[in-house]
Amino acid sequence: MKDQETPAGFAGDETQRPAFERSIPELVAEVYEAASPAERGHLLEQLLRPLGVLSLFGIAGGIFAQIRFRSGWQEVNIGLEDLQNVRAAQVIALVDHAQQVSVETVDGLAQMLAASPLMSASAAAAVLVTLLLRRARSRQSGDTGDATAPPRAS
C-alpha cells in the first residue's frame, strides 16, 4: 500500500490534501506526528492494547512487538526511546490493523483526543474526532457501511 510507504498530507508534502479527504489511519498518523511525547505514548498504548503478539510482529516490521515486550505485556507503558523510533508510516499500518481487530479501540481515540486541550486544537485531530464519532454512531444505529471512510485499495 503506497500510503504506508509515503503518507500524503504531512509537513513538507506539496501535494497535501485537506484533512477531511484523508483516511482515519492517515489522520491518526498526522495527529501522532504533531503530539507531545506523552500524548504519543497514550495514543500508541490505546492502539496496542487489543492486539496479540503475532499480529504485532506482522505490523511495521515488528517494531510494535518489540515495544510491547520492553514495556511489559500486562501493562503497556511506552518509553520515550521507543517513541523516537516510531514513524508516521508505521502508525498508519498500526491503525489499519487495529481497525480490523477492534474498531472500537480506534474509535476510543476520539475521547482521548477530545480530553487533551493541545490535541483538540489540531485541525487533523478535530476532523479525526468527528469521523470517529460519526462512525461509532453509525455502528450503534445498526448501519453496517462506513460512509466516512474512503474506499480501500486492494
Residue 22 corresponds to which cell in the numbers above? 484523508
55 within a domain of the structure (yes/no):
yes
Give how far Cα 138 sits from Cα of 70, 127, 129, Å: 37, 16, 14
Q: What does the mean pLDDT of the chain come to?
A: 77
36 within a domain of the structure (yes/no):
yes
Total domains present in the chain:
1
* pLDDT tens, position by position, 38-60: 899 989 988 988 888 888 888 99
Burial 130-146 (b: 16+ CB within 10 A, else e): ebbeebbeeeeeeeeee
Q: So what's the pLDDT on residue 10?
A: 43
Q: Is the distance from CB of 91 to CB of 75 less than 8 angstroms?
A: no
58 within a domain of the structure (yes/no):
yes
Residue 150 has pLDDT above 50, yes or no: no
132 within a domain of the structure (yes/no):
yes
Domain extent, residue 97, equals: 20-139
Q: What pTM was computed for the model?
A: 0.72
